[in-house]
Structure 1
Amino acid sequence: MKALVVYESHFGNTGRVARAVAEGLRSGADVEVLDVADAPPLGEVDADLLVIGAPTHVLGLSRPDSRREAMERAGDEEEPRPGIREWLEEAGELTVPVAVYDTRTHESKLPGSAARAVVRRLRQRKVPVVAPPEHFAVHGSEGPLADGEEERATEWGRELLILPGA
């Protein structure tokens, strides 16, 4: 089995979760982990399972303005790159089963979720989503990850291997 984990991360937390999920997946799959800027177009994904991870910005997926603000707070002076939102909008049919996670502020009880926004977009395109969206907690907007979240992400990766359709 081949798995691809594609993520967007600004403060490193969503990337840490991506690597932890990949660690769990490696118990039964060959896994590649890519920042969304380095990911192939959706129509060219060559995997048996795709895992998508995104940080929750302003109740959903990041936008150019929210990415620019995050990059400034992180001290990154590069021009903001496209995120998961733009990657999903690229042309190309995706038939690979997908699982989705996000990172979001632990302290907030706000209802927004990048993962739910991704799932909604995938379902509109008739892409098979094999698990409910998973959420990993971050302290504040910049992190760090809450205690135990990397371990939970590794376990979630293992669980993805046994899901029907994955």
Structure 2
Amino acid sequence: MMHAVVVFETLWGNTEQLAREVAAGLGLESTDVVDAVSAPAMLEDDVDLLVVGGPTHAFSMSTDKTREAAQQQGAENIPRRGIREWIASLASPGRDIRVATFDTRVTSPRLPGSAAKKAMKRLVALGFRPAAKPHTFGVHGYSGPVADGELERARRWGEELAATR
């Protein structure tokens, strides 16, 4: 039985919605969906796939400073730790675990940078094996909502991840 862990960071709730759709698309008997604050520093021995998602802030993964800026723009759910800090605390897997990353980004204006690409780079450096290219999902404005069709696209991406070994 395949076991997946989906770790997300969210400030407005959009990235969490997408993480839950990816997890649903995986369709596995065992999928844990957990925020970066609660995520463990070491994955359990039975984890086969790790999916990590977070918002793109200032062209990369969020920082304390960008989360503070989001709070000043009205975000109420400000995590004490984002995916950047969680990845920094994560132990090397010591075995072959596939990883996929995604981010959320405003649809307009189209800005450069990708939290997903930066997260993938750091996870591969720890010893994880890429399962797919980093994905980006659009949101309308900083607070959302998730752009039309993106929840369905996230579920389909989860299905694709489950189909690849």
- TM-score (normalised: structure 2): 0.90
Q: Displacement, 1:91?
A: 4.9
Say whether the 8 Å CA contact 1:10–1:74 is kept in structure 2.
Answer: no
Say whether the 8 Å CA contact 1:56–1:104 is kept in structure 2.
Answer: yes
Instruction: Report the equivalent of 1:83.
Output: 82
Say whether the 8 Å CA contact 1:3–1:29 is kept in structure 2.
Answer: no
The one-character-per-residue Cα deviations of 1:52-71 (angstroms, maximum 9, x if unpaired) are 00100011100001112223
The one-character-per-residue Cα deviations of 1:59-86 (angstroms, maximum 9, x if unpaired) are 11000011122234335386x5011001
Instruction: Report the equivalent of 2:22.
Output: 21
Question: Unaligned 5+ residue runs, structure 1?
Answer: none
> How far apart, in 2, do the equivalents of 1:147 and 1:163 lie?
26
- TM-score (normalised: structure 1): 0.90
The one-character-per-residue Cα deviations of 1:97-127 (angstroms, maximum 9, x if unpaired) are 1111000011122220000010111222232
2:129 aligned counterpart, secondary structure: coil
Say whether the 8 Å CA contact 1:55–1:114 is kept in structure 2.
Answer: yes
Say whether the 8 Å CA contact 2:12–2:76 is kept in structure 1.
Answer: no
TM-align CA RMSD: 1.7
The 5-angstrom pairing of residues 16-165 of structure 1 reads 16-26=17-27, 28-41=28-41, 43-46=42-45, 47-76=47-76, 80-94=79-93, 95=95, 96-164=97-165
Question: Unaligned 5+ residue runs, structure 2?
Answer: none
Q: Displacement, 1:48?
A: 1.2
Count of aligned positions: 161
